[in-house]
Amino acid sequence: MSTVPSYAGFGTVNIDVAGTQEPLSTTSIPSFEVIVTAVSGNAGNVFVGDSTVSSTTGIVLAAGDSVTVPIDDVAKLWVDSAQNNDDVSFFYTAPYAPNVVSPLYAG
């Protein structure tokens, strides 16, 4: 399989209630890497990790900060926040467009 991305996508997640983990995607989206950014207008820190991330654990992002995570599926990343109604945006690169079956992807 080629390691050159042939597709890119993006999205946003609103964390309505601090202390409640939210996945970046509820469906599997194959990816090479995901850039997660805490929206600049956030009132507090957001936290990035797996499904065990919390409002006190994970990769800490202050408003406007970003982290790049090499990962094979956008849905494996979760976020939480220290304040209600904070947001993250994300951008990902992928081997092909979501919902397209590729004979080259073995995941």
Strands 86-94 and 7-15, by their bridges, are antiparallel
Burial of 51 by CB count in 10 Å (0-12 exposed, 13-18 middle, 19+ buried)? exposed
**Report field, pTM of the whole predicted structure over 0.75:** yes
Nearest partner of 33 among 102, 94, 78, 87, judged by Cα: 94
pLDDT for 102 equals 45
Strand-pairing partners, residue 105, are none
Whole-angstrom distance, CA of residue 32 vs CA of residue 68:
10
pLDDT, one tens digit per residue, over 28-41 is 999 999 999 999 99
Dihedral pair phi/psi, residue 58, rounded to 5°: 115, -170
pLDDT for 103 equals 43
pLDDT, one tens digit per residue, over 74-106 is 999 999 999 999 999 999 998 877 665 444 444
Pick the range with the lowest mean pLDDT from 19-23, 58-62, 101-105.
101-105
pLDDT for 7 equals 85
Q: Average pLDDT of the chain?
A: 89
